[in-house]
């Protein structure tokens, strides 16, 4: 039987409850889900890529069909190498749509055999982003219910 492998790419700096909501939904729909951390040169990261990967591995442990990996360069190249059939992306508000649509179309042009699948998180996470979490973290604001407890701990250790 055909096994469907999907890649869920992102920066995950840090992983939030919104990401986890999507990972849970993705793990139910696909046979295997690879959460792939983009190794780019971001201007002002809060966590290093190895730190993000370690937190992701810890918080995705409950899902046996979820794996965490790192990639750089073109996403479609990585997806081809992994023999993935789908890319998973989250749509929160309409504002995400335009950028996501452009990216999905560009990826389809480069690799017509890989489908982008969009999923919506629970409404309670629809205004949550890693960027906001980083901002609140740097201002020592409360992050309860926005990130998993492990991430909250790591943030506390980092920003004090």
Catalytic residue (one of 27, 52, 89, 92): 92
DSSP state of 73: S
Which part of the chain contacts ligand ADP (CB under 6 A), choosing from 49-57, 65-73, 77-85, 123-131?
A: 123-131
Largest distance between two CA atoms of the chain: 51
Binding string, residues 28-47; x marks residues near ligand ADP by CB under 6 A: --------------------
Q: Which of residues 81-120 bind ligand ADP (CB under 6 A)?
A: 89-90, 92, 96
Catalytic residue among 19, 52, 89, 154: 19
**Torsion of the alpha carbons at 86, 90, 93 and 99, rounded to the nearest 10:** -60
Q: C-beta of 157: minimal distance to ligand ADP in Å? A: 21
**Sheet with 5-10, edge to edge strand ranges:** 66-71, 32-38, 5-10, 86-90, 115-119
| Residue 50 CB-density burial (10 A; 0-12 exposed, 13-18 middle, 19+ buried) | exposed
List residues binding ligand ADP (CB under 6 A): 10-12, 16, 18-19, 22, 89-90, 92, 96, 121, 125, 128-131
């Amino acid at each position: 039987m055909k096994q469907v492998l999907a890649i869920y790419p992102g920066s995950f700096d840090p992983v939030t409850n919104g990401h986890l909501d999507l990972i849970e939904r993705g793990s139910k729909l696909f046979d295997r889900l690879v959460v792939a951390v983009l190794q780019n040169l971001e201007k002002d990261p809060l966590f290093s890529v190895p730190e993000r990967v370690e937190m992701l591995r810890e918080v995705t442990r409950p899902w046996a069909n979820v794996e965490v990996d790192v990639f750089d360069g073109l996403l479609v190249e990585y997806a081809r190498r992994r023999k993935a059939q789908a890319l998973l992306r989250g749509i929160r508000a309409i504002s995400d749509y335009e950028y996501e649509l452009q990216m999905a179309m560009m990826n389809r042009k480069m690799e017509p055999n890989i489908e982008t699948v969009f999923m919506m998180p629970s409404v309670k996470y629809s205004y949550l982003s890693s960027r906001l979490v980083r901002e609140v973290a740097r201002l020592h604001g409360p992050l309860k219910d926005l990130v998993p407890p492990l991430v909250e701990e790591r943030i506390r250790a980092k920003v004090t």
